[in-house]
Amino acid sequence: MISEKMQKALNDQINAEMFSSYLYLSMAAYLESQNWNGMSAWMKAQSVEEYQHAMKFYGFINEVGGTVVLEAIEKPKSTWNKPQEIFAEAYKHEQYVTKRIHDLVALAIEEKDYATNLFLNWFVTEQVEEEATVVLINHKFNLIGDNNTSLFLLDRELGMRAEK
Ligand code: FEO
């Protein structure tokens, strides 16, 4: 049986993952409004992944006999200046999520909750992957600068994610 404290922390993480999903969907909407359809498709796919992360927490809480309690999702930002700014912000956001996951692991260890600790391992690995992916995209943006032809090609490359 999961402790009240751990359950509350995991429920908070459902909210954080749902906010991530909402934030990336908002980024997708903005990119689409600016005709960066490939980047928008990438963000939409990311938004779906974040929803799936939330559902993993949802499933786990139920599996260990806990209760899922959903809270209101914060309103995400809706405008940016350029695509590069969006992906830089996505990286910052992923760093924030990584810190949250690590805090959850620390709590699980403190509580000797080995089942939750094991469950969280998947997220520790996932965050390494997510950060690395966004770092690489940001690196490409930095190389490109404001070169429209290269931005067009990057848009097309990022759009391929949605086609996989
Ligand atoms: Fe659910 Fe992008 O971390």
Token look-up 């993993």 returns 56
- Mean pLDDT on 19-34: 98
Mind listing the pLDDT tens digit for each residue in 96-112?
A: 999 999 999 999 999 99
Mean pLDDT of the chain: 97
Mean pLDDT of 117-127: 98
Share of the chain above pLDDT 70, in %: 98
Which range marks the domain in which residue 23 is found? 4-163
CATH code assigned at 89: 1.20.1260.10
Q: Exposure of 128 by Cβ count < 10 A (0-12 exposed, 13-18 middle, 19+ buried)? A: exposed
**Residue of minimum CA distance from atom 1 in ligand 1:** 50
Asked if residues 60 and 10 have their Cβ atoms less than 8 Å apart, the reply is: yes
Ligand 1: nearest atom to the Cα of 127: 3
Q: How many domains does the chain have?
A: 1
Is the minimum distance from the CB of 47 to ligand 1 under 6 angstroms? no
Sequence letter at residue 120 = L
| pLDDT given for residue 161 in this prediction | 82
What does pTM read for this prediction? 0.96
